Amino acid sequence: MPVRSANPIRARSLIRDNLEKQAGSLNLIHSRMPNIKVFSGTSHPDLAQRIVDRLGIDLGKVVTKKFSNLETCVEIGESVRGEDVYIVQSGSGEINDNLMELLIMINACKIASASRVTAVIPCFPYARQDKKDKLAGGEDKEENKKLAKKNYDWKFRSRAPISAKLVANMLSVAGADHIITMDLHASQIQGFFDIPVDNLYAEPAVLKWIKENIPEWKNSIIVSPDAGGAKRVTSIADRLNVEFALIHKERKKANEVASMVLVGDVKDKIAILVDDMADTCGTIVHAADRLVEAGATKVYAILTHGIFSGPAISRINNACFEAVVVTNTIPQDGHMRDCPKIQCIDVSMMFAEAVRRTHNGESVSYLFSNVPY
């Protein structure tokens, strides 16, 4: 809109003021997020796009391809010299290829003189291989039977690798300066790194979902499907001011169905199973059956990482769940199409806020108990 004035000096002054205001507003926008680049791997581009949309910036240009011998090739399509770089890659899908792609992207940015490289890994790969277990039995009965036929030594796993530590070493050697992840299978994995690790929690988003989507949540009980998740469910139960229970699994042999002992009273209550991840879903389905037998009126399952491999989807479809709620740390569109019981909580705003606070040198502890709006 042109500035009209009878006085030419006054007109020039108004034009100068308008230009200064526009320049000031542009400088304000750039001063909020200077020297930052966010790149996405191929594992979860939708989450990366949601993160940059929240930050108000564009996704960085990167080309990922495979040679005919299936080697991964990554080309960063813009300058990262002196930039604060964030690479979003989740441990899902073709995990080994995605992990290698992440390592190559980190190294490519590092040797291109990036000031700092942060790996944003919503679901940390190999997190379950964090120790040498005494018992080796898994939850998948068919896999256990195959191993039993091979005379597998079920009693001890003295020769098992600690693969989570290996992944930590690989990320550090590739050049990562910082890791942002969510709900590590074991919090002690942070100690595998010699670089800073921010382990975000899905708990605030879970609490918000429970209050908004379960009308009778005050008559609920929070249940852990195994003893290892007791700390997680007690924290949620305390914040909701409800009771908690847990299920203790007893395995006598690997190819034998585990007996489940329920500790707590769920009769005439809404049972909410909470766990950090579900893969083949054998444990949570057995747990749901046990809760219904014990008198629970409804059963919900809330999981941070919905891997859903193998027979998981068919098991959920045939189970007695009202809903199985997961976050989008792993792509869920295909799972939601195949199973109407699956619902998704968007946690992109938590990662976006963690990126913003990290870039600006602010504390991220606010995110441990609050959902950013």
Indicate whether 268 pLDDT > 50.
yes
Indicate whether 103 pLDDT > 60.
yes
Indicate whether 135 pLDDT > 90.
no
Residue 234 resides in a domain: yes
Q: What is the span of the domain harbouring residue 68?
A: 33-129+159-200
Averaged pLDDT for residues 193-222: 95
Share of the chain above pLDDT 90, in %: 73
Indicate whether 115 pLDDT > 60.
yes
Instruction: Kindly state whether residues 232 and 183 are assigned to the same domain.
Output: no
* pLDDT for position 11: 54
Indicate whether 9 pLDDT > 60.
no
Residue 276 resides in a domain: yes
* pLDDT for position 31: 43
Pick the closest to residue 88 from 27, 23, 179 (CA basis). Answer: 179
Averaged pLDDT for residues 164-185: 96
Cβ neighbours of residue 351 under 8 Å, at least 6 residues apart? 47, 51, 88, 120, 122, 180, 182, 200
Whether the CB-CB separation of 224 and 264 falls below 8 Å is answered with: no
Indicate whether 85 pLDDT > 90.
yes
Instruction: Kindly state whether residues 174 and 77 are assigned to the same domain.
Output: yes
What band does 251 get if pLDDT is binned at 50, 70 and 90?
low
Residue 137 resides in a domain: no
Indicate whether 172 pLDDT > 70.
yes
* pLDDT for position 1: 45
Cβ neighbours of residue 31 under 8 Å, at least 6 residues apart? none
Cβ neighbours of residue 256 under 8 Å, at least 6 residues apart? none
- What's the full length of the chain, in residues? 373
Quick one: tokens of 98?
């995605």
Where do we find the tokens 């079920």? 154
Indicate whether 158 pLDDT > 90.
no
The model's pTM:
0.84
Task: Specify the number of domains making up the chain.
Answer: 2
Residue 120 resides in a domain: yes
Instruction: Kindly state whether residues 99 and 240 are assigned to the same domain.
Output: no
Averaged pLDDT for residues 210-229: 93
What band does 141 get if pLDDT is binned at 50, 70 and 90?
low
CATH code of the domain containing 95: 3.40.50.2020
Mean pLDDT, the chain, integer: 86
Exposure b/e, 155-186, CB count within 10 A at least 16 = b: eeeeeeeeebbebbeebbebbbbbbbbbbbbe
What band does 144 get if pLDDT is binned at 50, 70 and 90?
low
- The domain boundary, picked from 175, 200, 225, lies at 200
Instruction: Kindly state whether residues 164 and 210 are assigned to the same domain.
Output: no
Instruction: Kindly state whether residues 217 and 259 are assigned to the same domain.
Output: yes
What band does 12 get if pLDDT is binned at 50, 70 and 90?
low
Averaged pLDDT for residues 97-115: 96
Residue 20 resides in a domain: no
Residue 359 resides in a domain: no
Whether the CB-CB separation of 162 and 131 falls below 8 Å is answered with: yes
Indicate whether 160 pLDDT > 90.
no
* pLDDT for position 3: 44
